[in-house]
Amino acid sequence: MNRQVIVILHSPKLTCQSDRCHKLEAFAAVPTTATTTTTDIAWRSLLSRCRRRFKQTANDQRQQKQQQHRRDETSETSLVAVVRYLIPCSLAAKRLHPAADTPLNLGAERKLILRNTRISRHHMAPEIALHLITQECSIYHQPIGEDFCFRTEPFWGFFWPGGQALTRFILDNKQLFAGKRVLDVGCGCGASAIAARLIGANAATANDIDPTALQAALLNAELNSVDLEISSRNLIGQPCDDFDVVLIGDLFYDAEIASVLSPWLAQLAAKRKNIYIGDPGRHGLTEKRLWNMTQLARYRLPPDVCIENNGFSHASVWEFKSNS
Ligand SMILES: C[S@@+](CC[C@H](N)C(=O)[O-])C[C@H]1O[C@@H](n2cnc3c(N)ncnc32)[C@H](O)[C@@H]1O
C-alpha cells in the first residue's frame, strides 16, 4: 500500500497518562490521493485519542499547577505575599522591629529607600516617576521578619490600584484640583499628592502614619520637581479645616478602617469638602457605603497590576456625596 503513517510521540507513555507527559507531537504524512482504509481509520482514531488524552493531561497539569501556586502563595512570607494578602489585617503598617517607635534617622531611611527601590513609570500615571519596590528589587522577594531592612511593612513601595486610578483621574481633571489645598490621606508613595501639585493645586499635604512613607513621598516629590507638605498624624476624625479637597487612595482595605473612614468622610462632605476615593473594589467599600458615593471614572488596570493585586481588573474613582 502506498501509504506512510508516522506517529512521533515524545512521551514516556503512548497513552499519555504519565505526569511527565509534557510533549506529544503526532503527525502523519498521508498522500492526498490515499483513499480511506481500515488502517487509516485506526490510525486517525489513535491520533485523536492521543490528542484528547494530551489535552486532558495538559488541563490536569495546569489545574494542579494553579492549585500548587495558590498554596505556595498563601504559605510564603515574602514581601510581595504580605502585601497581597496581609494588607487587610491592620490599620497601619505593622511594626516589624522594637525600634519602630523610636525617631527615624531621616538620612539613613532615605538611603535605605533609594537602595531598595527602582525608579518606575510603569503604572497608570507614567507622567510621574516613582521610587517603587519592583520585581527587580531583591526585597520584593525577601521574607519579611526581624531582619527585614525596613522597620515597618513598606506599603509606600507599591503604587496601589486605587491610588493609580485616583492619580490618573487627577491628571485628567485639572479643573477639580487646580488652585485647591489638597490632603492625600494614607498617601503611601505620595503619587496622588504629587499629581495634584503637578496640575496646579495650591498646596498638597501627603499624610501617612508610617513615617517612612512620608520620606518616600518626599523623595518622589523631588524626583518630579514639586514640593509637598507632610503630616504623620492620624487625621481620621479630625476637622481638616485647612483643606478643600481630600484624597483617599486604596484605603478602604478592610471593614475596620472603613468603619472609621466613612463617618469621618461624611462629616467632611457636610462641610463641603470635595472627597475623591480611588478603589479597585476592596472589602470596606460595601454596597451600602457606595450609596453615599458617585462614580466619576472607571479604569481597566494594566495586566501586571491585576496579577500583583489578587485579580482586581478595574479601579474606580468615586466622589463622596454630602447628605445635607
Ligand atoms: C494600601 S496603601 C495605599 C497607598 C497609596 N494611597 C496608594 O494608593 O498607592 C495604604 C496606606 O495607608 C496608610 N495608612 C493606614 N492607616 C492610616 C491612617 N489612619 N492615616 C494615614 N495613613 C494611614 C498606610 O501606612 C499605607 O501607606
Report the sign of the C-alpha dihedral through residues 8, 11, 12, 13, in that order.
Answer: negative
Q: Establish whether residue 163 lines the binding site of ligand 1, counting it when its CB lies within 6 angstroms of any ligand atom.
A: yes
The single residue listed with the C-alpha cell 513615617 is: 211
- The pLDDT assigned to 84 comes to 54
Report the sign of the C-alpha dihedral through residues 239, 242, 247, 253, in that order.
Answer: negative
Domain boundaries, the chain: 1-75, 155-320
Please state whether beta strands 203-207 and 181-185 pair in parallel, antiparallel, or not at all (unpaired).
Answer: parallel
- The pLDDT assigned to 188 comes to 97
Candidates 282, 290, 291; CA nearest to 257 is 282
What is the 206 CA–ligand 1 centroid distance (Å)?
A: 10
Q: Please count the CA atoms within 13 angstroms of the CA of 148 that sit on its side-chain side.
A: 25
Burial of 224 from C-beta contacts in 10 A (0-12 / 13-18 / 19+): middle
- Residue 33's identity, in one-letter code, is T
What is the 193 CA–ligand 1 centroid distance (Å)?
A: 13
Cα dist from 18 to 67, 253, 274, whole Å = 19, 44, 62
Q: Establish whether residue 153 lines the binding site of ligand 1, counting it when its CB lies within 6 angstroms of any ligand atom.
A: no
Task: Give the whole-angstrom CA distance, residue 214 versus residue 110.
Answer: 10
Nearest-atom number in ligand 1 for the CA of 210 is 25
Our measurement of the distance from residue 239's CA atom to the centroid of its chain's CA atoms, rounded to an integer in Å, reads 31
pLDDT, averaged in runs of 10, over the chain (324 residues)? 37 28 28 36 45 50 54 52 49 56 82 96 98 94 78 92 98 98 98 98 97 96 98 96 98 93 96 97 92 96 87 94 77
- Cβ contact 54:21 at 8 Å: yes
Q: Which three cell numbers stand for residue 115?
A: 537602595
State the architecture of 155-320 in CATH terms: 3-Layer(aba) Sandwich (3.40)
- Residue whose Cα lies nearest atom 4 of ligand 1: it is 188
Kindly write down the DSSP assignment for every residue of 40-78, as one continuous string: HHHHHHHHHHHHHHHHHHHHHHHHHHHHHHHHHHHH--B
Q: Establish whether residue 156 lines the binding site of ligand 1, counting it when its CB lies within 6 angstroms of any ligand atom.
A: yes
Q: Per DSSP, which regions of the chain are E strands?
A: 118-120, 130-132, 181-185, 203-207, 229-231, 245-249, 274-279, 293-300, 314-320
